[in-house]
Amino acid sequence: MGKENYIRIPITMPDDMVSYLEENSLKSKITGGHKLANTEIVRACVNAIRELGLDYTAVKDEDDLKDRILEAKAAYSAKKK
């Protein structure tokens, strides 16, 4: 998918999350990679969640969703072994 198909969406997050993205973006660069844009990190996370086959049924809130993501990741990793 080329960038011409991208849609800009506003995302709000606390300062500590933005700092986390920035720090790890720079870490990639100083360890031989390139500086990742925050949007690249977020898109990669969305694509990873897609692969996990996450069940969104009756998710109550952000913390519940995070737990579901971690559970799906554990199940995914167990299947790969």
Number of structural domains the chain divides into:
1
Helix (H) / strand (E) containing 17 = helix 15-30
How is residue 68 written in tokens?
A: 């579901």
The answer to whether residue 1 is domain-embedded is no
The answer to whether residue 22 is domain-embedded is yes
The answer to whether residue 2 is domain-embedded is no
The answer to whether residue 6 is domain-embedded is no
Print the domain residue range for 42.
Answer: 12-80
The predicted-structure confidence for 7-64, as pLDDT tens digits, reads as follows 999 999 999 999 999 999 999 999 999 999 999 999 999 999 999 999 999 999 999 9
Dihedral over Cα of 21, 26, 29, 32: its sign: negative
The answer to whether residue 45 is domain-embedded is yes
Closest CA to 35 of 56, 21, 16: 21
Residues with Cβ < 8 Å from 51, sequence gap 6 or more?
A: 76
The answer to whether residue 71 is domain-embedded is yes
The answer to whether residue 63 is domain-embedded is yes
| pTM exceeds 0.75, yes or no | yes
The answer to whether residue 4 is domain-embedded is no
